[in-house]
Amino acid sequence: MAPRRYAPVDPRPPNTSVQDLQLLHCRVERRRPKPKSKRPPGYYQNLIERHDNLKATIKHRYADATKDNLSGIKSKFVRFCDDQLRKNWRSVIRDCSLGTTLAFLKHIHDEDRVSKRGAMQQYIAQFKMLFNRENGRHMDTNIGKEALKYIDTFGLDNTVKSKPVLGVDDLLLLLNHHWARDTSTFPTERHRVQFALILLLLFGTGCRPAELVDAKKKRRDDTGSEDDDLDDDDSLAVEKSDNGFGTEGDTDFRGRNDDALEGVAATSGVEEDIRHYDAICYEDVRLLVVRSPGDGERDVLAMEVTMAHHKGHKRRPKPTIFFFTEVDDPIFCPITHLVSLALADGAFEAPSLTTPRRVFEHKVWGPVLCTPLRWKQERLKTPIFRREEGSANPSLERALPYSQFKHCLNRLGLAAGFKDTLTSYCFRRGTANVVDRTATDAVRDQVMRHNPNSAVYNGSYINERVWFDVQSAVLERPSADGVLRMLTHMSLMRDPRAPIHVPDDVLAALPPDPDVTALEQEREKLKAGAYRVQGTDVEAEVRRLTTAIGSARSRRRNIISEEYRADYFRRRPTEDIEKQNSGQEEEEYIEPVVQHQIPQRTQLADLICTRVTNITPQDAIDRRIQAADFMQALCGCREVAPRYRLRVALPLPTLFKEESPEVGPLAPVFPLVCGKTQCLFCIGDELKSYEERMGSFCRVSKMRDHVERIHLQGIVPEEKFPCYHPVCKSQGLVLEHLQHFKNHIQTVHGVSLRE
């Protein structure tokens, strides 16, 4: 490595800009002590009297998941009291006897068709919590014991599902399939890059998915319920006093203090950003260029990831910081993935950091050990993993919901041929078992965010397949570690030939679902042969039945797919044994050829899915830089689902004159008059290939549904609207409003949309 060259030392301090001075002043003002709270006379005496009231209880500030559990069990209890007891639920729960508790549990078992004993145990625990919240005391212990004995008479299933453990070989298999063989599509290829980074962080930190993505449930708004006070901000469960010193007075003085603080913030000239998600943001990750400890070696990149929003962080915060360094294999390198995402987002504060090579080859200057690569101030609160909005550009504010990540994870496990369902806890259990074998119990509990000596790992995370060759130990023989390694991981039963979808002939041979048939007959009876029900008396009931029919069909389809796939894993080994014993030759498995639409993905898959040995350090750096280049370019692309693709041949360039002022040079490729089933927005989308832009829908109604659902959602009709056709876009044509745009594309481009 070439020796460092040093420039003469400049004793002058660096120049400070006006913006830096404003930020400095803002930080100084934020550290100013807040004003003292001025209370009215008699405030504290009134506070004493309020808390001395025997009926006064300080309400808990429950977590969102706890509120959801309480809301669910409360709705069941309200339904039980209204339908069976004909009483108000509050009066019943405040004098809840053993018989009422057992009758409520039997009602849940009958109405919800509960089949698992563990589910009934959870209902008992949630009902105890609801009792405690309403009465301010715990339920009688004997009632809880009798309830547990009572549910044993229901004949519930007490079996436990398997808890598969993921290993590094399984992770490599998943990543290879994700990059090279996955045929599923994402709204943008940025989501493909961020999905791979999530898998690496799950395995490298052992975190729960809620620490990386947005796992908050969508709260159900029940505006008609007067009893729902789960979100009540009052500190006491008593009525407000009428003497002027109750909660209204508190609100008044709290509002004055807030106004004063807002005034301080206003004088600083810079507003403080508010973090809206617990999902990991740029401020939780710090990228560093660290001076190499060895002489003559290059400075290396390191990454700090702070996991602060763990389970129970509001009650007992315990942030954990994980460190990552460069990995020679780019498919396993989280830093390479993060650098590509940050460059695609333009997140680096330094304007010159625009390419992966500049990031990876940066050197540490001065008498310091590291140089932080800081993020832009406006990107600190931005989630790194963002949701799929269905448009060309992902939202810069909304975090990736857990439901979308879970769907992609399950889909990847099915496509890779895993027998067990692939979940995020497979990664967490794999990390826990690896750390447990190589580190102390204290380090393992710190990594897992468990309380010291809590024994949670041994009860819930330890591999149920014993990672020890007991047979070889008792027989005093050498252990078979290689075979044991395969036997303890979830890829042991993997079969890439396993079906994902049920064939149409199998679905047609199955008898119809009686529940779906009954719902359809009820709907047809209400409609009485009419096609449109909008505005009629039966509209609400017909729509409810339609929703129920769709849910029942989806549920049955999922059950059929799961059982058909499970039947394959049960039947295939026996068939192979019979074929082998009958003298038949082994069928050669040929992997299907996967052709990617985007060239960058093909190049990236060829680079990172190829195992390279005996590589020099400089070649390893070049591979990571090249992989980051491909990932950065991939973030700006989008792949289209196969059902929307249409092969379109390039038209002859002599059909139109390029010098025609009416049509323009883009007309040979993009005709001015389009087909009536073509999407004008997709034609103008430059992220797609030509075949994808010129594709057509099967019917005009499908095209209109696509435009309204994807392109016109959230559009203000009165605002100006540009024309997305390449010819009009090149001329900068902007229409006055949405209706003007619809009239324009109908008269000029031959595409008609709904009014």
What would the pLDDT profile of 210-244 be if each residue is shown by its tens digit?
Answer: 999 998 877 655 444 444 555 544 444 444 444 44
Amino acid at 270: V
Q: pTM for this one?
A: 0.79
pLDDT at residue 355, rounded to an integer: 94
pLDDT category of residue 388 using cuts at 50, 70 and 90:
low
Which of 651 and 424 is assigned the larger pLDDT?
Answer: 424
pLDDT category of residue 587 using cuts at 50, 70 and 90:
confident
pLDDT at residue 270, rounded to an integer: 43
pLDDT at residue 240, rounded to an integer: 40
Polymer length in residues for the chain: 755
b/e sequence 603-621, b meaning 16+ C-beta within 10 Å: bbbebbbeeeeeeeeeebb
Amino acid at 123: Y
Q: Is the pLDDT of residue 49 over 90?
A: no
**Which tens digit of pLDDT belongs to each residue from 713-745?**
778 888 888 898 888 888 888 888 888 889 999
For residue 431, give every residue at least 6 positions away whose Cβ sits within 8 Å of its Cβ, in sequence order, or none: 202, 203, 204, 205, 206, 447
Q: Is the pLDDT of residue 659 over 60?
A: no
Q: Residue 432: is it exposed, middle or buried by C-beta count within 10 angstroms (0-12/13-18/19+)?
A: buried
pLDDT at residue 5, rounded to an integer: 61
**Which tens digit of pLDDT belongs to each residue from 177-196?**
999 999 888 888 999 999 99
Rounded distance between C-alpha atoms, residue 646 and residue 691, angstroms: 6
8 Å CB contact between 698 and 681: no
Which of 307 and 664 is assigned the larger pLDDT?
Answer: 307
Give residue for tokens 């563990």. 118
681: nearest Cα among 628, 741, 739: 741
Q: What percent of the chain is modeled with pLDDT above 70?
A: 85
The angle formed by the CA atoms of residues 60, 274 and 286, to the nearest 5 degrees, is 105
Which of 641 and 402 is assigned the larger pLDDT?
Answer: 402
pLDDT category of residue 14 using cuts at 50, 70 and 90:
low
Amino acid at 124: I
For residue 426, give every residue at least 6 positions away whose Cβ sits within 8 Å of its Cβ, in sequence order, or none: 164, 165, 166, 420, 490
Average pLDDT, the chain: 84
